């Protein structure tokens, strides 16, 4: 069931708060300023030959380090309830460790948080959105189990510094993208390309680091700070091509995000059975002495189980799945372990990003799956958005947002406990290895202008009206010749 073609005015129920998101490396700039340490993204973007489109870097990005007041002004123009941003670990702890706190870097986050709170915009803070201190990356990053201590120590500093005012915390943004894209493949640093091995080590250490931090917050800060804390997972919807491939699609879901969701949100905890069995069987058949998937000890299973106050969902798109017996993937590898092939339909509306097509019913299916599989947890939609190549009239993005919010409201009507919706992104930003070529912003950023002028797109007017009226009106046409105002 999905009512996405319904073209009447649809009320948004009370209790769902709306915001937008960004991440530190994608917007801050000020790469070396005021004592910031080097992150893996600083390091990666300056490699030769340059690994990013047009040799773009985040050295200046949107210059948000200096322009936080304009950023908050845009939040006010939109009428946001909250803004989700991330902290740069290497800006706060330039040595990676807690021996030295960079006061100037801390001041930037205090300024941003205080400016937001002055206008009643709640900060939602992600501790880790992909920019790891380079020194920790050199020591193995998320494959080194000591990262559990490094991350927990860093998180404690953040709670001490900002937790008096920050009531929504996210530990780690999208473990799948970090582990699979960075450790199993070559799309993001450390570009290890050790698929079917390093990606699984990364998954385990991320889960333990997340859970350890969760319990540390509960023990040391919950009483005095009274915030809520969880994780944001990338939830891609996998739809079977036909009845024959129902199981193949379920395998893809379990490998792609069940590997993180099952240990945290299921009643039994631990990695999904299918993932444990499949990787163990394949490993033995391939001549390994043990499974390439690390075990979670009984203590680790207990530590991780239940370690999130809510299910944070970053959702963008859907893939069709079918099973293939003769693998087209190298062995061993993560995709060989999944044992299925995926594609997107030509008829689905395409974004500027190759991997992103608009499939609103996939969002509905994903929300339904989370409700039924994990006993209807509170859900924070922490990212959802669509890319273009730029331009102020972005009707494709408007259509995407309307249809996806509509699909979300279908899930709410069915009983999903959805607490927040977050548009990615407030403004264009450094889109990782695509540089500045793919635009996700409600506001367009002019990268030829040293002051990085931000201009409201048509979608900003529409999003503002959805929030103001608390309703979806598919026929609303804004007048974009009138400047957007607070």
Query: Based on CB atoms, which residue is closest to ligand PNW, 236 or 466?
Result: 236
- CA quadruple 118, 120, 125, 131: dihedral sign: negative
383 part of the active site? yes
400, 291, 288, 304: which is closest to 352 by C-alpha?
400
CB closer to ligand PNW, 71 vs 174: 174
Q: With binding defined as CB under 6 A, does residue 383 bind ligand PNW?
A: yes
- Range in contact with ligand PNW (rule: CB under 6 A) among 57-65, 170-178, 289-297, 361-369: 170-178
Q: Is 394 in the site for ligand PNW (CB under 6 A)?
A: no
Restricting to residues 239-258, name those near ligand PNW by CB under 6 A: none
**23 part of the interface to ligand PNW, by CB under 6 A:** yes
The owner of tokens 């699979």 is 180
Name the one residue in this structure whose structure tokens are 């062995």: 331
Write down the number of H helices and E strands in the chain: 18, 17
Binding ligand PNW by CB under 6 A: which of 40, 62, 234, 308? 234
* Per-residue tokens: 65: 């380090």
* Binding residue (CB under 6 A) for ligand PNW from 424, 436, 443, 463: 424
309 binds ligand PNW (CB under 6 A): no
What are 485's two structure tokens?
């105002």
Q: What's the CA gap between 318 and 304, in Å, rounded?
A: 28
Q: Least distance (Å) from ligand PNW to the CB of residue 143?
A: 21
At 318, phi and psi to the nearest 5? -130, 145
317 near ligand PNW, judged by CB under 6 A: yes
Q: Which of 383, 431, 438, 444 is catalytic?
A: 383
Q: Can you tell me the distance from the alpha carbon of 132 to that of 189, in angstroms, rounded to the nearest whole number? A: 9
Q: Which is nearer to ligand PNW, 102 or 171 (CB)?
A: 171
Specify whether the backbone of 381 is left (phi greater than 0), alpha (psi in -120 to 50) or beta.
beta
CB 355, min distance to ligand PNW, A: 4
Q: Is 350 in the site for ligand PNW (CB under 6 A)?
A: no
Instruction: Examine residue 173 and tell whether it contacts ligand PNW (CB under 6 A).
Output: yes
DSSP state, residue 59? S
236 in contact with ligand PNW (CB under 6 A):
yes
In angstroms, the CA 339 to CA 220 distance is 44
Q: Point out which residues bind ligand PNW (CB under 6 A).
A: 23, 173-174, 177, 234, 236, 314, 316-317, 355, 383, 424, 431, 440
């Amino acid at each position: 069931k999905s009512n996405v073609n319904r073209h009447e005015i649809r009320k948004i129920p009370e209790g769902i708060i709306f915001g937008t998101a960004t991440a530190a490396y994608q917007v801050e700039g000020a790469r070396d300023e005021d004592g910031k340490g080097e992150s893996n993204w600083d390091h990666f973007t300056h490699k030769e030959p340059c690994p990013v489109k047009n040799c773009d870097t985040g050295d200046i990005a949107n210059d948000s380090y200096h322009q936080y007041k304009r950023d908050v002004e845009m939040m006010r123009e939109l009428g946001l309830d909250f803004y989700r941003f991330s902290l740069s670990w290497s800006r706060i702890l330039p040595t990676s460790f807690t021996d030295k706190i960079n006061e100037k870097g801390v001041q930037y986050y205090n300024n941003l948080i205080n400016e937001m709170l002055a206008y009643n915009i709640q900060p939602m803070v992600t501790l880790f959105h992909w920019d790891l201190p380079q020194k920790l990356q050199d020591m193995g990053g998320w494959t080194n189990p000591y990262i559990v201590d490094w991350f927990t120590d860093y998180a404690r500093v953040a709670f001490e510094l900002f937790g008096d005012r920050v009531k929504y915390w996210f530990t780690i943004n999208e473990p799948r993208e970090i582990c699979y894209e960075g450790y199993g493949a070559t799309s993001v640093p450390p570009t290890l390309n050790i698929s079917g091995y390093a990606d699984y080590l990364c998954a385990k250490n991320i889960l333990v680091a997340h859970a350890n931090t969760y319990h540390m917050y509960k023990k040391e800060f919950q009483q005095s700070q009274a915030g809520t804390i969880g994780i944001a997972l990338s939830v891609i919807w996998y739809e079977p091509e036909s009845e024959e491939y129902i199981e193949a699609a379920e395998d893809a879901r379990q490998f792609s995000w069940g590997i993180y969701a099952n240990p945290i949100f299921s009643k039994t905890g631990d990695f999904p059975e299918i993932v444990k069995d499949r990787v163990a069987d394949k490993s033995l058949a391939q001549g390994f002495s043990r499974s390439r998937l690390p075990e979670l000890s009984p203590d680790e299973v207990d530590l991780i189980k239940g370690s999130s106050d809510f299910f944070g969902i970053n959702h963008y798109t859907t893939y069709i799945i079918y099973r293939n017996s003769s693998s087209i993937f190298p062995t061993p590898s993560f995709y060989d372990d999944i044992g299925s092939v995926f594609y997107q339909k030509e008829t689905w509306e395409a974004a500027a990003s190759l991997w992103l097509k608009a499939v609103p019913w996939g969002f509905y299916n994903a929300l339904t799956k989370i409700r039924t599989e994990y006993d209807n947890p509170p859900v924070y939609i922490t990212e959802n958005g669509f890319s273009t190549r730029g331009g102020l009239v972005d009707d494709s993005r408007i259509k995407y947002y309307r249809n996806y919010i509509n699909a979300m409201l279908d899930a709410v009507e069915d009983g999903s406990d959805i607490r927040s919706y977050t548009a990615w992104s407030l403004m264009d930003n450094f889109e990782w290895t695509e540089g500045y070529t793919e635009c996700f912003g409600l506001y367009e950023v002019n990268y030829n202008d040293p002051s990085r002028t931000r201009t409201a797109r048509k979608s900003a007017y529409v999003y503002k009206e959805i929030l103001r009226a608390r309703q979806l009106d598919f026929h609303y046409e804004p007048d974009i010749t009138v400047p957007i105002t607070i």
